[in-house]
Structure 1
Amino acid sequence: MPQVLEFKLPDLGEGLTEAEIVRWLVEVGDVVAIDQPVVEVETAKAMVEVPCPYGGVVTARFGEEGKELPVGAPLLTVAVGTVEPSGSTAESGSGTGAAGAESSGSGKVLVGYGTGAPPVRRRRVRPEGLSAPAAAPAAPATSVVPDRVRGPVAVVSPLVRKLARQHDLDLRQLSGSGPDGLILRADVESAIRSVAEAPQQAAVTDQASAGPAGERIPLRGVRGAVADKLARSRREIPDATCWVDADATELMAARAAMNGAGGPGAGPKVSVLALLARICTAALARYPELNSTVDQEAREIVRLSGVHLGFAAQTERGLVVPVVRDAQGRNTESIGAEITRLTEAARTGTLKPAELTGGTFTLNNYGVFGVDGSTPIINHPEAAMLGVGRIVPKPWVHQGELAVRRVVQLSLTFDHRVCDGGTAGGFLRYVADCVEQPAVLLRTL
């Protein structure tokens, strides 16, 4: 006998507790295979296609596109043991029958998060309902009339009844002020006034509770996650910022030489971001205090051995920070290739949750927006972020003479709990020296 199994939104990992339905990949009545993707959801980390661990006929979907669901909420139900959309049942040799339903599903683990073994809810299937199953409509909310008003209405006067009918009043819902609860004309008139005043009172209440008028945009998905993280950073981290202007003329010349060497087919171009990322890994090797985090409960600073370098990327879905893993062991070309790959995945919304978490230091190139400087907010729970402004020609004293040079402003925001200004200044000065004299970097390669 076919059984209907309920598939719930699985635990998506990385501390994610909810997801927004972006696009359904199946319709009610479709036949699905085990581990077939059935819905595309957006979490605070990435876009994810969720596979169903059961095979059979989809009998119901829960949630419209654009709706947010918590982990553990029902996604859809599948009639297991039926593989024909026409309604005829068939024995399944692939584990989708009633016997297979006793298992906990496919048991496969999705990349970046686990489906786990969602609990199932079984109910019998109506034999005639499998060819074109549909979700049962939700029962309308009804008000329960108290037992005291289910009997005869305590009304004597026909005028009272007529007045109530003219104003669509249910006399069973009124309490009479007359003897033995008799409903009087004054009771009906009072109810009429209450009904008339209710919309005005509701409008005043709604206006008062709504706050300032204007368009309201829900803080959810990526935007909500960014808002929560930035607020937590400001709330928990005593940050400070230092900055310096640097002459990037030699760095840009070195980049041009790298990209011009070897001629056509020599490989992908080296980006400024890749060069700055490599400079950061060298600076963190000298100043490891900034590659750390604070365990507030234990009141300990945790020095991290690996440099997992995050970089800010603006996408249509909002600001995301992909992470280059083990950047301390990569050269400039390797870092550049990984930045390119992660940036493309960010733009297409295919970043995995694991590629957006675990960073230990962040590089923020806000110069692409045409601005010179900023005071970056630390990407909690990291200890520092380097901000880079635009590189533009400016008057500069070079070798004792005024010249036009390519100048950039560098800003370092750091957690004052992990180090003092001397360490932060030393880090920033080393970065600036490498920008002004790229040969300095050769000492640490």
Structure 2
Amino acid sequence: MHAWPASEVPALPGQGRDLRIHDTATGGLVTLDPGPVARIYVCGITPYDATHMGHAATYNAFDLVQRVWLDTKRQVHYVQNVTDVDDPLLERAQRDGLDWVALAEKETALFREDMTALRMLPPRHYIGAVEAIPGIVPLVERLRELGAAYELDGDVYFSVGSDPNFGKVSGLDAAAMRLLSAERGGDPDRPGKKNPLDPMLWMAAREGEPSWDGGSLGRGRPGWHIECVAIALDHLGMGFDVQGGGSDLAFPHHEMGASHAQVLTGEFPMAQAYVHAGMVALDGEKMSKSKGNLVFVSRLRRDGVDPAAIRLTLLAHHYRADWEWTDQVLQDALDRLGRWRAAVSRPDGPPAEALVEELRAALTNDLDAPAALAAVDRWAALQEERGGTDIGAPGVVSRAVDALLGVAL
């Protein structure tokens, strides 16, 4: 599966700084010190509807991570999946009388268009669940050989008790985990499971649903968590730098995935930091496809909204914060974009070297994008009030905003 084209990232003067970021597993800030190649895995979409602002906010956060690393002159090995077979996709296709494969391809293509418009840097590897099945089956078989998996009516489950580090990603107690499991795709009340929290690794073929040859597992399709584990281990290996996604993935998805990988490899941890973006609400409730309270990136683009303003709307909120989309937050971003473009359109301006360092300081401090925007606002205000004599300054500002914030002025 192919990703989307990359926009050029301008090189900036000076030296970038190492990133300090909030790690869900420890509950505090950690300083990441990758090698020459920084490794990041970000969980992708289930393509049964278009990209909404909640998605965009999540991928914007991890785009900033990449840009901070690139500013340190590191390479970035970024991997993202597409869950192109799963219950929500099949249910949507059946509801609308669509072929599930065609639906997945259509929505994945639209997602690529949205990411391109928003100048999100693409992953090096963009892998669908279906194409990952040949690598998933051996992992499930290996977990079974290790005594970490068991069969229930043809389905194969992972035993969370097989991982002594289970629970260290989310830090939740068993009661909270059980509630979230029921809400987020688990089946804690299924009779016969060793532990209510045990997640499915391989679902035996159901009548009328797609299935694949699972070797000794029989025909079926993979569970949600093992999909990402197989892709991450194949392309990044164990102990990669950042596991990313929305805050609703900390449990069960990232918790379960970490346990799968740790039992398979005998190593801990799966990732050096678990980084989670906040949720975006509309009309007082989290945007979700099940509720239908969505603001779509593609719809805004069709209405003529500049993608740079959409991105500035996202950047105006700290990536870990939960916030609400309103017409006003978009208008604020449009106004800001106009001020910035006017400021860099002049032939000279106030010196910009200090601004570049302010941007670096803000972003390396847990991706504090609002502080970065405020720094550019101050430079633009000086430009409007007094102008300046530094002929190169507007160009430096334009390149810095592009390189570090992904906004083309």
Q: Report the TM-score, using the length of structure 1 for normalisation.
A: 0.23
Structure with the larger strand share: 1
Q: TM-score, normalised by structure 2?
A: 0.24
Which structure's relative contact order is higher, taking Cα pairs within 8 Å and 6+ residues apart?
Answer: 2
Specify the structure having the higher radius of gyration (Cα).
1
